[in-house]
Amino acid sequence: MNFVEKKILEEGRVEGEDILKVDSFLNHQIDVEFLNEIGKRFKELFKDQKVDKILTVEASGIAIACICAQYFNVPVVFAKKMDSKNLDKETYESEVYSFTKAKHYTIKISKRYLGRGENVLFIDDFLANGRAALGIKNIVDQAGANLVGIGIVIEKGFQEGRAILDDLGINLHSLAIIEKMEKGKISFKSL
Ligand code: 5GP
């Protein structure tokens, strides 16, 4: 069992059939030591890729992406979900369906911070149905940048995200893949 799987078993809480709450270390309170190990692990997994920039989506992805970025020595750009008067007018935008909120939202990245030919690694906390990842892929394509990989802390392997990203030939690494969460009991797929 790896350190992410261990942490999930110790602190994760299953809600209903398909939601995992990890508020004690990732989504509300943040365990920085744990994130640091995640940063090291993603650096190992993507060591052969040229990475110019790490992309994520606000809010939960930001802390994870920032710690990873220290190992890659690159900046982080996070897609904005909330409307803000401060955001540049010139943006790349994509519509995303939120699995947890059961509604659509628009993610936006200023054209100033994503350029043609840049090699981009997308980092996020969860992979469920792959909608956030597809939204980011769409923005990266609009910019003429290259999506060199996707790093996910917790993948829910019983949802369709991986199949969709595999079909697109995306280089995907997850640190833990949940096979099922029946009656609150979590089991993992071997990596
Ligand atoms: P997807 O876009 O792959 O359908 O869903 C991924 C996004 O939804 C993640 O960025 C995460 O914020 C949220 N998400 C999906 N499933 C879960 C879950 O079981 N627990 C938590 N905490 N967030 C989830």
CATH number at residue 47: 3.40.50.2020
In this prediction, residue 28 carries a pLDDT of 98
* Ligand 1 centre distance from Cα of residue 98 (Å): 7
Total number of domains in the chain = 1
C-beta of residue 8 within 8 angstroms of C-beta of residue 157: no
b/e sequence 53-78, b meaning 16+ C-beta within 10 Å: bbbbbeebbebbbbbbbebbebebbb
What was the pLDDT predicted at 83?
Answer: 77
Query: Residue 46 sits in which domain range?
Result: 3-188
Tens digit of each residue's pLDDT (9 = 90 or more) over 59-99: 999 999 999 999 999 999 999 997 777 888 899 999 999 98
Is any ligand 1 atom within 6 A of the Cβ of residue 12? no
Mutate to test the pocket of ligand 1, among 30, 58, 99 (most ligand atoms within 8 A of CB): 99
User: Length of the chain, please?
Assistant: 191
Using CA atoms, how far residue 109 sits from 17, 138, 153, in Å, is 33, 11, 22
Above 0.90 for ipTM, yes or no?
A: yes
Which atom of ligand 1 is closest in space to residue 18's alpha carbon? 19
Torsion sign (Cα): 100, 57, 164, 128 = negative
Residue with tokens 């595999």: 166
What pLDDT is attached to residue 183? Answer: 87
Residue stretches of the chain with pLDDT short of 70: none
178 φ/ψ angles, rounded to the nearest 5 degrees = -85, 125
126 lines ligand 1 (CB under 6 A): yes
DSSP E strands: which ranges in 99-184?
A: 103-110, 119-127, 146-156, 172-182
Residue in 57, 100, 179, 180 to alter for ligand 1 test, most ligand atoms within 8 A of Cβ: 100
The pLDDT, as a whole number, for residue 55 is 98
